[in-house]
Amino acid sequence: MPIIAPSFLASNFLQLGDACNMVNNSAAEWFHLDVMDGRFVPNISFGMPVIEHIRKTTTKICDVHLMIEEPEKYVEDFKKAGADVITVHFEACRHLHRNIQQIKNLGIKAGVAINPHTPVHFLEDIIGYADMILVMSVNPGFGGQKFIPHTLTKLQQLKQLITEAKANVLIEVDGGISLDNAAAIVAAGADVLVAGSAIFNAPDPAAVIQQLKNI
């Protein structure tokens, strides 16, 4: 069964406490928290203060996805805010191996995200160092986008790369995930499903989480 990580970018920020309670009482294991800086992506979301408050509501994994430039300047602060996993973008890091080591030296898990245009084989030299690879199945920056079908091929390629490297790496997928395509995404190799609109826009979000969990 996949790990389910509801994306709080799609939640109602005026009822953030209610959203936290819903996820806490659901079958979801992770909180997925998207940080955007208006530079790496054309949108701004939230930062350390919001994550600090979310952290106080839960003992579940806080999965922090940094869609920001120069993440090395901020990872220590996000760790202090409560991150259990910090994911940085391949495209934002000039010295990716150093970025991964910096995160792992804080005693937390390090993830690497790739955008839709980035080939899987670019990860060959760091696959043995990362704890997780996040495959973006939409272009980052906005929720509610449609899943890019080619992602399924990329997931299969990534699974093969991990197997050949004998690496212990989770595969996370983010963008356009719904009850209609989740089974195919898991079959292609995904371990962690990030879902925002499909969960938070549903009449019964916890029921959708359970359905995704049962796939």
Helix H, strand E, coil C: the string for the chain is: CCEEEEEHHHCCHHHHHHHHHHHHCCCCCEEEEEEEECCCCCCECCCHHHHHHHHHHCCCEEEEEEECCCHHHCHHHHHHHCCCEEEEEHHHCCCHHHHHHHHHCCCCEEEEEECCCCCHHHHCCCCCCCCEEEEECCCCCCCCCCCCCCHHHHHHHHHHHHHHHCCCCEEEEECCCCCCCHHHHHHCCCCEEEECHHHHCCCCHHHHHHHHHCC
pLDDT in tens, the chain (215 residues): 999 999 999 999 999 999 999 999 999 999 999 999 999 999 999 999 999 999 999 999 999 999 999 999 999 999 999 999 999 999 999 999 999 999 999 999 999 999 999 999 999 999 999 999 999 999 987 777 899 999 999 999 999 999 999 999 999 999 999 999 999 999 999 999 999 999 999 999 999 999 999 99
Please indicate whether residue 34 is annotated as part of the active site.
yes
Question: How much of the chain exceeds pLDDT 70, in percent?
Answer: 100
Separation of alpha carbons 134 and 152, rounded Å: 13
Query: What is the structure's pLDDT at 152?
Result: 97
| 82 marked as binding residue | no
| 77 marked as binding residue | no
From the candidates 34, 37, 63, 131, which is the catalytic residue?
Answer: 34
From the candidates 37, 63, 131, 174, which is the catalytic residue?
Answer: 174
* pLDDT tens column, 126-155: 999 999 999 999 998 777 789 999 999 999
Sketch out the chain's domains with CATH numbers. 3-213 (3.20.20.70)
